[in-house]
Structure 1
Amino acid sequence: MAVFKRLVIVCLCIWVSFSAHAVKVTDELDLGGAVRVNYGWKDYANDSKLEFELFRVDVNYKDDGLFASAQYRWYQDIDVIHHAYAGYNFNEEQSVQIGVTQVPFGLLPYGAHSFWFSANYYLGFEDDYDAGIHWKYDDKNWRFDLAYFFNDEYGDGARYDRYSFDVAITDESPYEESGQLNARIERDITTENTKHKIGASLQYSQLDYLPTTNSQVEGKDTDGYAASFHWQVDWAKWQGQFQYMYYEYDMPDSNRIALSAFAYPFEIASSADVLTLNLARSIDVDWGPITNLNCYNDFSQVFASGEGLEDSIQNVTGCAITAGKFYSYVDWIAGNNMWFINGPGVGISNAPTEWSSRLNINIGLYF
Structure 2
Amino acid sequence: MFAAPAKGTAAAATGENNAENRLLTEDDFEIGGALRFNYAAQRSDGDQRDRGGDASLDLFRLNIEGEQQGIEFSAEYRWYTNQDVLHHGWAGFGAGEHGQVRVGVSQVPFGILPYAAHNYWFGIPFYVGLGDAYKLGAQYIRENGPWDLRLAFYKNPVENDPGNLERYGFDLVNHAGCADNDDNAASDNGSGDNDNGSGESQDCTRESNQANLRLAYTLDEGGSCPVELGLSGQWGMVPNSETGEDGSRWAGAAHLDMRCGRWGVQLQAGRQVIDVDLDSTDGDGEEDTVTFGGMDGKYQVASKANLGVLNIAYNFPVPWENIDSLTCYNDFSIYHKDESDYSNSKINTTGCAIGRGPLFIYADVIRGKNAPFLGDSGAETLGEGGAGWDTYYNLNLGYYF
Name the TM-score, length of structure 2 as normaliser: 0.81
1:219 Cα offset (Å): 8.0
Aligned partner of 2:234 in structure 1 is: 203
Are the aligned partners of 1:30 and 1:59 in contact in 2 as well (CA < 8 Å)?
A: yes
| Richer in strand (by share) | 1
* Structure 2: tracts of 5 or more residues without a match: 1-23, 176-191, 197-203, 277-284
1:229 alignment counterpart: 254
Look up the match of 2:214: 184
Distance (Å, rounded) in 1 between the aligned partners of 2:308 and 2:322: 37
Q: CA deviation at 1:92?
A: 4.8
Distance change >3 Å, CA 219–CA 49, structure 1 → 2: farther
Supply the AA of the counterpart residue of 1:195.
P
Give the aligned partner of residue 398 of structure 2.
364
Alignment counterpart, residue 331 of structure 1, candidates 361, 364, 371: 364
Q: Could you tell me how far 1:307 is from its partner in structure 2?
A: 6.3
Q: What is the 5 A alignment of 1:136-215?
A: 136-170=141-175, 172-173=195-196, 174-190=204-220, 192-211=223-242
In 2, the alpha carbon distance for the partners of 1:311 and 1:200 equals 24
Q: Give the structure 1 partner of residue 128 of structure 2.
A: 123
State the match for 1:12 in structure 2: none
Number of positions where the alignment pairs a residue of Structure 1 with one of Structure 2: 337
Deviation digits for residues 260-281 of structure 1, max 9, x if unmatched? 0111121100010011000001
Q: Which amino acid aligns with 2:294?
A: A
5+ residue gaps, structure 1, are 1-23, 212-217
Counterpart code for 1:182:
N
Corresponding residue of 2:295 = 262
8 Å contact 1:238–1:281 — kept in the other structure? yes
Bigger Cα displacement from structure 2, 222-231 vs 287-296? 287-296
1:348 to 358, 380, 383: 383
Quick check: 2:155–2:208 contact (8 Å CA) kept in 1?
yes
Q: CA deviation at 1:308?
A: 5.3
Report the Cα distance in structure 2 between the residues aligned to 1:249 and 1:63, rounded to whole angstroms: 41
Counterpart for residue 283 of structure 1: 316
Alignment of 1:44 with 2:47, yes or no, is no
The verdict on how the C-alpha distance between 1:336 and 1:245 changes in structure 2, with shifts beyond 3 A counting, is: same
When Rg is computed on C-alpha atoms for both structures, the one with the higher figure is 2
2:324 partner SS = strand
Could you say what secondary structure the match of 1:290 adopts?
Answer: coil
% of aligned pairs identical? 31
| TM-score (ref. length: structure 1) | 0.88
Q: Tell me which residue corresponds to 2:264.
A: 239
Q: Distance in 2 between matches of 1:286 and 1:155?
A: 50
**1:349 Cα deviation after fit:** 3.0
Moved over 4 A (4+): none
Determine the C-alpha separation between the residues in 1 that align with 2:266 and 2:326.
18
- SS of residue matched to 1:203: strand
Residues 372 and 382 in structure 2, CA contact (< 8 A), matched pair in contact too: no
Q: Secondary structure of 1:285's match?
A: coil
2:62 to 42, 52, 57: 57
AA aligned to 2:366 is I
Aligned partner letter, 2:105: V
Q: Tell me, yes or no, if the aligned pair for 1:111 and 1:126 is still in contact at 8 Å.
A: yes
Deviation at 1:359, TM superposition (A): 0.5
- Cα shift readout 1:251-306 (whole Å, capped 9, x = no counterpart): 23311111101111211000100110000011231434211111110000110132
